[in-house]
Amino acid sequence: MNDNRIMNLAANNIRILAASMVEKAKSGHPGGAMGGADFINTLYSEFLVYDPKDPAWAGRDRFFLDPGHMAPMLYSQLALIDKFTLEDLKNLRQWGSVTPGHPEREIERGIENTSGPLGQGHCFAVGAAIAAKFLAARTGNPSFAKETIYAYISDGGVQEEISQGSGRIAGTLGLDNLIMFYDANDIQLSTETKDVTIEDTAKKYEAWGWFVQKIDGNDVDQIREAICKAQAEKERPSLIIGHCVMGKGARKADGSSYEHNCATHGAPLGGDAYVNTVKNLGGNPEEPFVIFPEVKEMYAKRAAELEGIVAARKGEEKAWADANPECAAKVCEWFSGKAPQIDWSKVEQKAGAATRGASATVLGVLAEQVPNMICASADLSNSDKTDGFLKKTHALTRGDFSGAFFQAGVAELTMACCCIGMALHGGVIPACGTFFVFSDYMKPAVRMAALMELPVKFIWTHDAFRVGEDGPTHEPVEQEAQIRLMEKLKNHHGKNSVLVVRPADAEETTVCWRMAMENVDTPTALIFSRQNIEMLPAGNDYSQAEKGAYVVAGSDEDYDVILLASGSEVSTLEAGADLLRKDGIKVRVVSVPSEGLFRSQPKEYQQSVLPAGKKKFGLTAGLPVTLEGLVGADGCVWGLESFGFSAPYKVLDEKLGYTGQNVYEQVKKLLA
């Protein structure tokens, strides 16, 4: 335990740095950061276990920040442990700086997650806590059982609906390795919190099965005691509600208090207010970017302490590894980020199956061969066919994490963000399934997974209006176009930020899953049909799906027209092609499981598959725009431009023109 005088000095140091960063940048959020300084300082100086020399150590505690706008607090704290320089802090929010406006994941610098969209961080932490328990159960490595996942949340995140999902899941699964600190400062961006909510947050979390403590969030003794009690809790996740003072220590230009004021949420304190604040906190406004010597000393002492703590943990790990060399080697492999070794010859597809069924076949093999994979479903496992995986394992439950299936309940965004959290933790390959139409509930998570370059697998079934009897609410139309926009968006490494695949039949499904498992650099979206699909012509070389688009076997030389599609529409094109050939028209059929991937191929290949100037006809059960980019001025696209209708799918196919006959008619018109 450190001297409280120095602890308060360190917290003030963080406040000064945070306020100064924002002041210098002329933009940012000082108030929340100043309020939370006592908690983060206490956590890092006395509790958080990490290896200063080995930031990516798999057994480290994790700290997830949800309110990314409190970046100045995190950067300042990390400057106290030498992860950022004072120069870095001075460059907050500037071009090319390592201190962007909201933190972006960078393990080397101690940033575990990208944050900004409030609430998702709750689930990232829950997912990481699940991963730690899963890895502990699966491997016996003692570090995973000792790891604690800390999360820092705020009023905004608690109001976000996703907090309900994280609260429910963590309570249900009894995640006692999760400790959330709620910075309850009663202030948010434009109002006081009481203007928008009268809820009793403590009771709410208690009802979800959490251990809840309420403390003065600016009192180091109370923070310490609360963390100790939370660590001692052996059944429930912990919520520490810290009543913090927004803008703690801030002073206005006239010297009066600037605490508990919305104005400090998202703007520099400004001029004399800033000067008065720094002085009030014991700093020098002429030279605010300093770390006080006593604070430096305290953190040097902590670094030395950590050496001992980490050495002891790593010693236990070594004893375990010596006794379990094979398992230890596997764990290393899991954390390497490399794609798993899979014997794909074990996948035996049934001809003519729905691609969701084909996906289930693959998932069954993955469940057997990929011991660090966790598959999830939002209460649809028997429909989205993730039950192919479930049948080979069992669900994760409170007190028993020996299974590998995560029953997320009806909560798609929660599920997706928990999977992201698992990926952030590392060592685990997460996949999650639901109906494609409900991908709408998951977009914010997909975007974050894409930005963080996490290889989460999103499984979306019931890919088109052929869920007809359920009616328009359940019929995806514009969803494929939306997710394919993410394929066009490049990540920080200049790669397509998401790989989106929609296979044409059961065999192409296997190849698409292989691509998904081999894609360790970005998320993958897999889009599957509900209904059975005729196989592509015999002799088709499915491995070509890896190029994103390819010429299907049986295509004619010297063709008159190219027919292109993804998913089940390819087989509809084949039916149309048969009719066209009877009329003497020569046809090339192109399957395009991924436009984004296709556009990443050499120009010559793209040109060889879809030569410019050749007549083209695209067929999509989505919006025409899904294929218009590939067809261009060379033809037309038959797509859907309404929400859909309620009727059996074969009726819809007829009424909406998804038949070989309509393909024939439309192509005849195009060629006329």
Active site residues: 412
Contacting ligand TPP (CB under 6 A), which of 30, 67, 217, 288? 67
Residue 155 is a binding residue for ligand TPP (CB under 6 A): yes
Candidates 55-63, 93-101, 116-124, 292-300 — which segment interacts with ligand TPP by CB under 6 A? Answer: 116-124
Cβ 261 to ligand TPP, closest distance in Å?
A: 10
Tokens 């249900």, residue located = 172
Strand partners, 106: 111
Candidates 154-162, 170-178, 224-232, 317-325 — which segment interacts with Mg ion by CB under 5 A? Answer: 154-162
Nearer to ligand TPP, 73 or 149 (CB): 73
| Alpha carbon distance 224, 216 (integer Å) | 11
CA 491 to chain centre: 14
Residue 497 is a binding residue for Mg ion (CB under 5 A): no
Contacting ligand TPP (CB under 6 A), which of 42, 77, 141, 185? 185
Candidates 187-195, 330-338, 343-351, 552-560 — which segment interacts with ligand TPP by CB under 6 A? Answer: 187-195
CA 447 to chain centre: 7
**Contact partner, 567, from ligand TPP, Mg ion, none, Cβ < 5-8 Å per class:** none
Q: How many residues bind Mg ion (CB under 5 A)?
A: 5
> How many helices (H) and strands (E) in the chain?
26, 16
Run of H or E residues at 122: helix 120-139
Crossing angle of the two packed helices 293-323 and 71-80, in degrees rounded to 10 = 80
Sheet with 524-527, strands from edge to edge, namely 405-407, 373-377, 429-435, 457-461, 524-527, 499-501
Contacting ligand TPP (CB under 6 A), which of 62, 69, 83, 385? 69
- Other CB atoms within a 10 A radius of the CB of residue 266 amount to 17
Nearer to ligand TPP, 37 or 347 (CB): 37
Return the closest-CA partner of residue 509 out of 567, 433, 431.
567
**Contact partner, 384, from ligand TPP, Mg ion, none, Cβ < 5-8 Å per class:** none
Contacting ligand TPP (CB under 6 A), which of 111, 132, 187, 610? 187
Residue 487 is a binding residue for Mg ion (CB under 5 A): no
Q: How many residues bind ligand TPP (CB under 6 A)?
A: 18
Candidates 106-114, 183-191, 331-339, 644-652 — which segment interacts with Mg ion by CB under 5 A? Answer: 183-191
Q: Are strands 587-591 and 550-551 parallel, antiparallel or unpaired?
A: antiparallel
Q: Are the CB atoms for 272 and 69 separated by under 8 Å?
A: no
Cβ 166 to ligand TPP, closest distance in Å?
A: 14
Return the closest-CA partner of residue 461 out of 566, 348, 354.
354
Q: Specify the DSSP class assigned to residue 69.
A: G
Cβ 186 to Mg ion, closest distance in Å?
A: 7
Run of H or E residues at 515: helix 506-518
CA 573 to chain centre: 36
Contacting ligand TPP (CB under 6 A), which of 109, 251, 265, 466? 265
Strand partners, 324: none
Q: Are the CB atoms for 431 and 377 separated by under 8 Å?
A: no
Residue 103 is a binding residue for ligand TPP (CB under 6 A): no
Return the closest-CA partner of residue 4 out of 36, 35, 41.
41
Residue 247 is a binding residue for ligand TPP (CB under 6 A): no
Contacting ligand TPP (CB under 6 A), which of 118, 149, 220, 437? 118
Contacting ligand TPP (CB under 6 A), which of 32, 100, 247, 388? 32
Run of H or E residues at 308: helix 293-323
Cβ 47 to ligand TPP, closest distance in Å?
A: 23
Question: Any idea how long the chain is?
Answer: 672
Contacting Mg ion (CB under 5 A), which of 113, 185, 201, 662? 185
Candidates 184-192, 303-311, 571-579, 615-623 — which segment interacts with Mg ion by CB under 5 A? Answer: 184-192
Residue 116 is a binding residue for ligand TPP (CB under 6 A): yes
Closest CB to ligand TPP: residue number: 32
Candidates 27-35, 320-328, 378-386, 516-524 — which segment interacts with ligand TPP by CB under 6 A? Answer: 27-35
Nearer to ligand TPP, 9 or 273 (CB): 273
| Alpha carbon distance 592, 545 (integer Å) | 8
Contacting Mg ion (CB under 5 A), which of 38, 112, 155, 176? 155
Q: Which one-letter amino acid corresponds to residue 589? A: V
Q: Are the CB atoms for 95 and 387 separated by under 8 Å?
A: no
Positions touching Mg ion (CB under 5 A) are 154-155, 185, 187-188
Positions touching ligand TPP (CB under 6 A) are 29, 31-32, 67, 69, 116-118, 154-156, 160, 185, 187-189, 246, 265
